[in-house]
Amino acid sequence: MKSASCKAKGRRLQDAVAGAIREAFGLPASDVWPMLMGGNGMDIRLSEKARAFWPYATEVKNQERINIWAAIKQAEEHADKEKLSPLVVFSKNRERAYVVVSFEEFVAMQKCVVR
């Protein structure tokens, strides 16, 4: 696959993730937007307002073969810098996206939704 095609594939998932976050919390594009391909930092950029709704340093990977440990490390590095929790969203062609968070983060999320 050509470099431009790889970047376009990654960009589509970044756009979808940013759009889903905006839709879920009623936020405008100026609060949640995808990082430019090749840029440094989190793949999904967040305003201070958006961080109250989405407290995650989100790393997005749209690859057929993913090194999940490298993706987690990348998310953790961004999370440390931004004082957020690390989160990885990953997918491959024509498949649904999945999310990786630490077990502690998952338990904390479940505590919020338990009736």
Domain extents for the chain? 3-113
pLDDT score of 6:
55
Residues 6+ apart with CB under 8 A from 10: 37, 60, 61, 62, 63
Per-residue pLDDT, averaged over 44-67, amounts to 96
For residue 5, the Cα-to-chain-centroid distance in whole angstroms is 20
The confidence band for 52, taking pLDDT boundaries of 50, 70 and 90, is very high
β-bridge partners, 88: 59, 100
| CB-count exposure of residue 19 (10 Å: 0-12, 13-18, 19+) | middle
pTM of the model: 0.86
**Is the separation of the CB atoms in 84 and 6 below 8 Å?**
no
| CATH fold group of domain 3-113 | Trna Endonuclease; Chain: A, domain 1 (3.40.1350)
Phi–psi pair at 8, nearest 5 degrees: -65, -40
Q: Two tokens at 2?
A: 């050509």
What per-residue confidence (pLDDT) applies to 9?
58
pLDDT at position 71 is 96
